[in-house]
Structure 1
């Protein structure tokens, strides 16, 4: 009996869907009306968000903007590379002192061990004095890099905000199609409730 009721409900639902398919298509078509826009807002790749996609479109069509964009990108890459070079040199020296200190502690002769420990400590302290200015300059590079990124982000927002607003105006959010579709859903719900 349950199988018969289920089959009847399925058949009724299928017939109802077929009859209303053309009506539903009309509703969907009306909802899709006026969604074409001259503004090419889209995600250009899986890793690119809508913000960067809009900015990319702006850069693509504006040579001056492209020059600024390339200049900023190169500056950020160069800053990263400069920090990487100095980080490597400093890191290698710091690693050396840690290993040398460990090796000095393993020397059996206490007089020689003390002599080597003091020698390493003196060299390490001299190196720290040399590196202090480098660390300050690296810190300044990092602050500048962050400032460039912040100002650049603000610039990109100013350039892209009008585009998303144009996109929104070209895609008005009307409720007519949604209301019609909800009414169709409600009718189907009522039909399903009457099934026993």
Structure 2
């Protein structure tokens, strides 16, 4: 009899837990709710990470041509920067590798006079090369600083654009406590029933 009562009480509790699941549905449609749609394998998924700001922003872009144009412009500038800088980086890497290898090979020269002469020639060549690339490296440094500033401004812009969306989402989901309070009441009933078991 007690087992039957306990089983019936547990069944009632489990059944009634699923009753009021639809109470926290959104009142209005918003960009945050749309972020749940699967983006895996799509262009948006690779372009934006998994963070909520980028997901919400990608939803806003879909309906705003100005935002989309700005996003495309920033993406193109980043892609172009890589192409422009890479051609210089390759020259820097090969030159640095050459001088490093030359210094390593000098160690195997046993004639001290020849070794001293070639060390001086390498040093002179490196000094000429450093003068030649000094301005280029300064320009690349400026490009890097500009990129950082663009990224900083864009992050702040995206946050400012998406803040109203998350607030709209929060307001559309008022998080009523009715379900929680009802569930606690059912738990308390079960607790009382179990305390009275002998």
Structure 2 length-normalised TM: 0.83
Change over 3 Å in CA distance of 1:185–1:83 after alignment to 2: farther
RMSD after superposition:
2.2
For 1:51 and 1:98, the matched residues in 2 are separated by 45
Deviations 1:66-120 (A, max 9, x none): 1110000111222233333322211110111011011122112111111111111
When structure 1 is superposed on structure 2, of 98-107 and 76-85 the one drifting more is: 76-85
Determine helix, strand or coil for the equivalent of 1:26: coil
Gaps of 5+ in 1: none
**Is structure 2 residue 121 aligned with structure 1 residue 119?**
yes
Question: Which among 113, 131, 135 is matched to residue 129 of structure 1?
Answer: 131
Question: Which residue of 1 is the match for residue 52 of structure 2?
Answer: 50
The CA distance in 2 between the partners of 1:166 and 1:28, in whole Å, is 21
Distance in structure 1 (CA, Å) of the matches to 2:5 and 2:87: 73
Task: Quote the Cα distance in structure 2 between the aligned partners of 1:89 and 1:195.
Answer: 83
3-state SS of paired residue (1:147): helix
**2:156 equivalent in structure 1:** 154
- Following superposition, the deviation at residue 21 of structure 1 comes to 4.1
Q: Distance in 2 between matches of 1:71 and 1:127?
A: 35
Q: How does 1:1-196 map to 2 (within 5 A)?
A: 8=3, 12-30=5-23, 32=24, 34-35=25-26, 37-41=28-32, 42-43=35-36, 44-45=38-39, 47-196=49-198
TM-score, structure 1 normalization:
0.84
Q: How many residues align?
A: 186
| Aligned residues of 1:54 and 1:160 also touching (Cα < 8 A) | yes
Kept in 1: contact 2:31–2:60 (CA 8 A)? no
What stretches of structure 2 of length at least 5 have no aligned partner? 41-48
Is the Cα–Cα contact under 8 Å of residues 83 and 138 in structure 1 kept in the other structure? yes
Whose relative contact order is higher, 1 or 2, with alpha carbons under 8 Å and at least 6 apart?
Answer: 2
Contact 1:55 1:160 in 2 (8 A): yes
